[in-house]
């Protein structure tokens, strides 16, 4: 700082000295002085206006500006900014004069030579002002700039700013949301930044398809969107044009396509409600099935083909089910409002602007051909869902350009401009014509086309300011929509984007930037963010922009300059949208906190750490290099996982399986082999058969046993009921768990059911008979036939199992079957028990988990499908409160406790077992039963 101050002092001294050089000859007449200084005679003759008086005046002005830190530089034609600054006493240092002359050697000639030439049409006054600005700028040659307005980012500017921290600059070095790619990745995790009423986001789902992972996600989403679109298109046609327009005995599209789409949506809803958590084998859909379906969708939507129907089946039931399903889908498909029937996507080059290279596509194969060509190409793309149902004004599409200003990133300060303007396309909106003149509304594209046949009320220059739009909204009876939905929606989206990107922006002070965001309005008047531009077009291209742009620039100066001096000064049309409150840092308590550690080296390293590291890096870079990606023709998920294999990963399930299941199964074998033969012999013939099963346990057997239990236990799925069209479709959404957060943003839905189930748990117990349990079972309980398996566990298990559908069963004694009737009545009679079955079961299940140290528990991520084998005993507890840790891993079973439990089980079951002809269902017992009924598997 001291050095910096010294440098500033010396440059100010130089400025004073240079002024002395001019002051000396000022005592005599101009001509002589100029001769003395070596200025040509005709020079003065030509420019009689440059008197030494005037020169001294300019010098004093420059000196004053330097003293007050009011030196600015503008790159580009931002006349409004220049004029606004000049009006505030600032002096411009032209960008061309970057330290041409050595410090302190400025002569009269230096100041007056090489002045700009007079342009044609320039008045004398304008020219004089221009020359004076030029001369003043020369006075300031060695002075640091205090305010830089530039239209391009240059490294040297940020170096200058580092030297002179007081310098304000109008560009952030890093603003990742300004590229399509950056915006997409910044908003990926937006849900972490959601703030009720402050930061909300409507951003059409978008994928950086150069990344194999996101490409896979896009493909999945494309397919699912096609399923939704197919059912919607079918229903829409059915209702509008009648069944004959959709169904026909000679239809090209097989009827099974409806079933196909229906099942995919049911699966999706199941997944959103976490009902798929214990699916062992999710249905495999082959690529050729998808290809066929996507083709059928195209046929239905674009070619007006019909669905084959023999007329024997009634359509009403199917249509009803589809309507119910689509309604349910709305809850779990946040971007439902922007989807249409065509499944249109917009493919954008990641780093281009002005609409260059943008394509509209609805064919998956073609999209993949563009974004993932077989020949390696440098261009990257993002694929975004096209808003098929935008709000259109007089049948014409438009978007809104909205300015906002960021004046600080840490803490975040966002200013929102109250005015905005609309940009119309030159042709009427149509989904059958995918031409850019219809669908891309940016000015750079539309200026290439003459306006087509459109409503006369539309502006010929294809622009409206927000006031005209508000007048239009009043005309159509939606006057409140601007203030209630559109304007606050845009504001929240901007704040949300900034919060999501804050960490990746510069932290430098005195930096601000004006951004231009593009929004599209949906039919329901919600604004959807399309893009944010870092250098918005501020040229006066139309009468609308000619009025608004200079005003906006002036207002920026008001916020950035005037507010520094007076916080209450006028801010023009800018309003403060967000000012982050930073919590105070707690006082330092004198704790000496430090992290101590040692570098971990790979075991097989043997001192070749660097080599090993290099190898790893090579593998990783190969796996992620574009060439590799191109070669690997990334479509199926399997390929993607192959690419990622090189990456170091940690799979908790695998880890636990490795360290917990294997020793268990091996010890299980040893236990079985050491089992006293007398036990086996003393039992009946059936039990002998069962004993064989026990004597030869294997992971396969255990897995099979576990699977059947899982299938039995996952009652909440009601999967069988929902698989077919119209069969119990309601059940799919009956399990009211919080829906999965979508990675792309959209409207937030409030579901009544979700609120109700906040306090519920769904507990699924899967018993894979762990070592201790087996031990006990084998020692204490004589192996019995499945028909005589103990009963006690059933009640317990049922209580756990039925927790989720308590709402339906509550108070309904018919749900208690003959086995549980006793327990139900007993529970009802007990005065201290909780009011409802639900709470009783919940309480019992919870206490059971808490008290049971013998159970292994494993927490699972929401919504992930489980493919791999499970732990010996696992409890999957879904805490319905989102974000709550699901289940913590519990310790290995203590054999005493298990023994105790099982002894109870046996004693109770023994008395009841005779009464039942069917085997009672209990997790533990079923496992045992499975083991017993499978005498010997070939794989064992």
Ligand X SMILES: Nc1ncnc2c1ncn2[C@@H]1O[C@H](COP(=O)(O)OP(=O)(O)OP(=O)(O)O)[C@@H](O)[C@H]1O
The gap from C-alpha 17 to its chain's centroid, in whole angstroms, comes to 60
Under the binding rule (CB under 6 A), the answer on residue 518 touching ligand X is yes
Among 140, 167, 253, 346, binds ligand X (CB under 6 A): 346
Under the binding rule (CB under 6 A), the answer on residue 184 touching ligand X is no
Q: Look at the block and give the residue holding tokens 């009545």.
A: 825
**Cβ-based nearer residue to ligand X, 52 or 533:** 533
**Cβ-based nearer residue to ligand X, 447 or 658:** 447
What beta strand segments (E) does 615-706 contain?
Answer: none
**Cβ-based nearer residue to ligand X, 231 or 358:** 358
**Cβ-based nearer residue to ligand X, 355 or 869:** 355
Interface of this chain with ligand X, residues 525 to 564, rule: CB under 6 A: 530-531, 533
Pseudo-torsion of CA 544, 546, 549, 551, nearest 10°?
Answer: -100
- Taking the complex as a whole, how short is the minimal distance between the CB of residue 382 and ligand X, in angstroms? 9
- Taking the complex as a whole, how short is the minimal distance between the CB of residue 387 and ligand X, in angstroms? 4
Contact string 681-720 vs ligand X (x = CB under 6 A)? ----------------------------------------
Nearest to 281 by CA among 662, 645, 714, 740: 714
Contact string 801-820 vs ligand X (x = CB under 6 A)? --------------------
Three-state secondary structure readout of 394-441: CCECEEEEEEEEEEEECCEEEEEEEEEEEEECCCCCCCCCCCHHHHCC
Under the binding rule (CB under 6 A), the answer on residue 866 touching ligand X is no
**Cβ-based nearer residue to ligand X, 202 or 386:** 386
Q: What is the DSSP string of 561-619?
A: IIHHH-TTS--TTEEEEEEPPPPPPPPP--------------GGGTT-HHHHHHHHHHH
**Cβ-based nearer residue to ligand X, 444 or 830:** 444
CB atoms within 10 A of CB 234: 25
Number of residues that bind ligand X (CB under 6 A): 21
Name the β-bridge partners of 876.
764
Q: What is the C-alpha to C-alpha distance for residues 599 and 551, in angstroms, rounded to an integer?
A: 59
**Cβ-based nearer residue to ligand X, 348 or 840:** 348
The gap from C-alpha 789 to its chain's centroid, in whole angstroms, comes to 51
Under the binding rule (CB under 6 A), the answer on residue 354 touching ligand X is yes
- Taking the complex as a whole, how short is the minimal distance between the CB of residue 184 and ligand X, in angstroms? 11
Q: What is the C-alpha to C-alpha distance for residues 796 and 905, in angstroms, rounded to an integer?
A: 10
- Taking the complex as a whole, how short is the minimal distance between the CB of residue 399 and ligand X, in angstroms? 4
Among 138, 171, 348, 717, binds ligand X (CB under 6 A): 348
Q: Helices 837-851 and 821-829: crossing angle, nearest 10°?
A: 100
Among 134, 185, 426, 441, binds ligand X (CB under 6 A): 441
- DSSP-derived letter for residue 447 is T
Under the binding rule (CB under 6 A), the answer on residue 175 touching ligand X is no
Q: What is the DSSP string of 713-770?
A: H-GGG-HHHHHSTTSSHHHHTTS-PPPPPPSS--PPP--HHHHHGGG-EEEEEEE---
Under the binding rule (CB under 6 A), the answer on residue 493 touching ligand X is no
- Taking the complex as a whole, how short is the minimal distance between the CB of residue 183 and ligand X, in angstroms? 9
**Cβ-based nearer residue to ligand X, 178 or 757:** 178
**Cβ-based nearer residue to ligand X, 138 or 348:** 348
Among 342, 396, 442, 854, binds ligand X (CB under 6 A): 442
Q: What is the C-alpha to C-alpha distance for residues 148 and 93, in angstroms, rounded to an integer?
A: 10
* Candidate ranges 100-108, 362-370, 440-448, 720-728; the one touching ligand X (CB under 6 A): 440-448
- DSSP-derived letter for residue 177 is G
- Taking the complex as a whole, how short is the minimal distance between the CB of residue 514 and ligand X, in angstroms? 15
Contact string 192-211 vs ligand X (x = CB under 6 A)? ------------x-------
Q: Look at the block and give the residue holding tokens 């409002």.
A: 337
- Taking the complex as a whole, how short is the minimal distance between the CB of residue 359 and ligand X, in angstroms? 11
- Taking the complex as a whole, how short is the minimal distance between the CB of residue 545 and ligand X, in angstroms? 13
Contact string 368-397 vs ligand X (x = CB under 6 A)? ----------------x-xx----------
**Cβ-based nearer residue to ligand X, 139 or 341:** 341
**Cβ-based nearer residue to ligand X, 355 or 699:** 355
Interface of this chain with ligand X, residues 628 to 657, rule: CB under 6 A: none
Under the binding rule (CB under 6 A), the answer on residue 520 touching ligand X is yes
- Taking the complex as a whole, how short is the minimal distance between the CB of residue 339 and ligand X, in angstroms? 11
Q: What is the C-alpha to C-alpha distance for residues 185 and 210, in angstroms, rounded to an integer?
A: 12
Yes or no: say if 898 and 776 are a contact pair by the CB < 8 Å rule: yes
Phi, psi of 515 (to 5 degrees): -115, 155
**Cβ-based nearer residue to ligand X, 277 or 360:** 360
**Cβ-based nearer residue to ligand X, 148 or 530:** 530
- DSSP-derived letter for residue 243 is G
Interface of this chain with ligand X, residues 585 to 604, rule: CB under 6 A: none
Yes or no: say if 932 and 694 are a contact pair by the CB < 8 Å rule: yes
- Taking the complex as a whole, how short is the minimal distance between the CB of residue 300 and ligand X, in angstroms? 22
- Taking the complex as a whole, how short is the minimal distance between the CB of residue 204 and ligand X, in angstroms? 4
**Cβ-based nearer residue to ligand X, 355 or 782:** 355
Q: What is the C-alpha to C-alpha distance for residues 404 and 732, in angstroms, rounded to an integer?
A: 44
**Cβ-based nearer residue to ligand X, 436 or 562:** 436
The gap from C-alpha 100 to its chain's centroid, in whole angstroms, comes to 50
Query: What end-to-end distance do the CA atoms of the chain give, in Å?
Result: 79
165 by Cβ neighbours in 10 Å (0-12 / 13-18 / 19+) ranks as: exposed
Contact string 291-330 vs ligand X (x = CB under 6 A)? ----------------------------------------
Q: What is the C-alpha to C-alpha distance for residues 576 and 669, in angstroms, rounded to an integer?
A: 71
Q: Which residues bind ligand X (CB under 6 A)?
A: 204, 346, 348, 352-355, 358, 384, 386-387, 399, 440-442, 444, 518, 520, 530-531, 533
């Amino acid at each position: 700082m001291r050095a910096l101050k010294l440098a500033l002092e010396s440059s100010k001294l130089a400025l004073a000295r240079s002024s002395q050089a001019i002051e000396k000859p000022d005592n005599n007449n101009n001509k002589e002085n100029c001769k003395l200084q070596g200025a040509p005679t005709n020079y003065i003759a030509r420019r009689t206006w440059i008197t030494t008086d005037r020169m001294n005046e300019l010098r004093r002005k420059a000196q004053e500006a330097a003293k007050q830190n009011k030196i600015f530089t503008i790159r580009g034609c931002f006349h409004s900014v220049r004029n606004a600054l000049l009006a505030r006493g600032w002096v411009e240092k032209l960008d061309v004069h970057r330290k041409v002359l050595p410090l302190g050697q400025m002569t009269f000639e230096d100041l007056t030579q090489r002045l700009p030439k007079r342009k044609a049409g320039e008045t004398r006054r304008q020219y004089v002002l221009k020359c004076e600005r030029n001369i003043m700028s020369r006075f300031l040659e060695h002075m640091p700039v205090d305010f830089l307005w530039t239209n391009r980012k240059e490294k040297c500017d940020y170096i200058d700013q580092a030297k002179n921290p007081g310098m304000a600059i109008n560009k952030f070095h890093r603003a990742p949301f300004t590229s399509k790619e950056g915006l997409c990745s910044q908003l990926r995790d937006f849900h972490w930044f959601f703030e009720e009423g402050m930061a909300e986001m409507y951003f059409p789902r978008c994928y950086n398809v150069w990344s194999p992972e996101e490409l896979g996600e896009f493909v999945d989403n494309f397919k699912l969107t096609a399923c939704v679109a197919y059912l919607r298109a079918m229903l829409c046609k059915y209702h509008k044009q009648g069944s004959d327009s959709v169904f026909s005995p000679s239809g090209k599209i097989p009827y099974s396509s409806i079933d196909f789409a229906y099942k995919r949506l049911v699966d999706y809803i199941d997944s959103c409600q976490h009902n798929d958590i214990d699916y062992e084998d999710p249905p495999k859909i082959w690529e050729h099935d998808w290809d066929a379906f996507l083709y059928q969708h195209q046929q239905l939507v674009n070619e007006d083909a019909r669905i084959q129907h023999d007329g024997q089946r009634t359509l009403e039931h199917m249509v009803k089910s589809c309507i119910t399903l689509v309604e349910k889908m709305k809850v779990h498909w946040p971007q439902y409002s922007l989807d249409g029937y065509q499944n249109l996507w917009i493919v954008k080059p990641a780093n281009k602007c002005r609409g260059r290279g943008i394509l509209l596509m609805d064919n998956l194969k073609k999209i993949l051909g563009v974004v993932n060509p077989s020949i390696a190409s440098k261009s990257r793309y993002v694929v975004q869902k096209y808003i098929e149902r935008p709000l259109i004004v007089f049948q014409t599409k438009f978007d809104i350009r909205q300015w906002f200003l960021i004046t600080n990133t840490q803490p975040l300060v966002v200013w929102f401009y109250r005015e905005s303007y609309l940009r119309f396309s030159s042709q009427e909106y149509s989904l059958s014509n995918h031409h850019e003149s219809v669908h891309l509304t940016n000015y750079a594209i539309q200026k290439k086309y003459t306006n087509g046949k459109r409503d006369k009320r539309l502006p010929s220059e294809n622009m409206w300011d927000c006031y005209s739009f508000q007048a239009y909204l009043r005309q159509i009876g939606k006057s409140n929509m601007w203030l209630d939905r559109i304007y606050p929606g845009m504001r929240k989206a901007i704040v949300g984007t900034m919060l999501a990107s804050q960490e990746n922006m510069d932290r430098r002070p005195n930096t601000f930037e004006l951004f231009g965001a593009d929004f599209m309005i949906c039919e329901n008047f919600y604004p959807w963010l399309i893009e944010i531009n870092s250098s918005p077009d501020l040229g006066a291209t139309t009468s609308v922009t000619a009025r608004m742009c200079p005003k906006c620039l002036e207002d920026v100066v008001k916020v950035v300059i005037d507010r520094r001096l007076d916080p209450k000064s006028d801010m023009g049309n800018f309003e403060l949208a967000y000012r982050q409150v930073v919590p105070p840092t707690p006082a330092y308590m004198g704790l000496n906190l430090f992290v101590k550690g040692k570098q971990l080296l790979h075991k097989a390293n043997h001192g070749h750490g660097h080599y090993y590291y290099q190898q790893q890096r090579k593998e990783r870079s190969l796996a992620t290099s574009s060439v590799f990606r191109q070669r690997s023709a990334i479509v199926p998920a399997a390929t993607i996982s192959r690419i990622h294999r090189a990456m170091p990963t940690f799979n908790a399930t695998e880890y636990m399986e490795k360290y917990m299941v294997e020793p268990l199964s091996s010890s299980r074998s040893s236990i079985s082999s050491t089992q006293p033969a007398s036990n086996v012999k003393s039992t009946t013939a059936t039990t002998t058969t069962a004993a064989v099963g026990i004597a030869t346990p294997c992971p396969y057997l255990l897995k099979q046993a576990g699977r059947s239990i899982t299938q039995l236990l996952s009652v909440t799925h009601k999967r069988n009921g929902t698989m077919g069209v119209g069969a119990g479709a309601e059940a799919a959404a009956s399990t009211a768990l919080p829906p999965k957060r979508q990675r792309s943003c959209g409207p937030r839905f409030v579901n009544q059911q979700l609120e109700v189930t906040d306090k519920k748990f769904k507990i699924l117990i899967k018993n894979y008979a762990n070592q201790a349990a087996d031990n006990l079972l084998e020692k204490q309980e004589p192996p019995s036939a499945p028909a005589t398996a103990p009963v006690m566990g059933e009640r317990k298990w049922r209580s756990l199992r039925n927790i989720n559908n308590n709402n339906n069963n509550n108070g309904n004694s018919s749900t208690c079957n003959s086995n549980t009737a006793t327990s139900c009545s007993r529970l009802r009679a007990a005065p201290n028990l909780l009011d409802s079955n639900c709470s009783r079961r919940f309480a019992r299940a919870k206490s059971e988990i808490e008290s049971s140290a013998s159970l292994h528990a494993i927490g699972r991520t929401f919504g992930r499908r489980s493919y791999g084998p499970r732990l010996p005993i696992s409890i999957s507890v879904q805490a319905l409160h989102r974000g709550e840790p699901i289940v913590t891993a519990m310790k290995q079973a203590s054999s005493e406790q298990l023994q105790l439990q099982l002894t109870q089980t046996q004693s109770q079951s023994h008395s009841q077992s005779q009464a039942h002809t069917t085997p009672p269902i209990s997790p533990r017992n079923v496992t045992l039963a499975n083991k017993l009924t499978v005498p010997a598997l070939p794989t064992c």
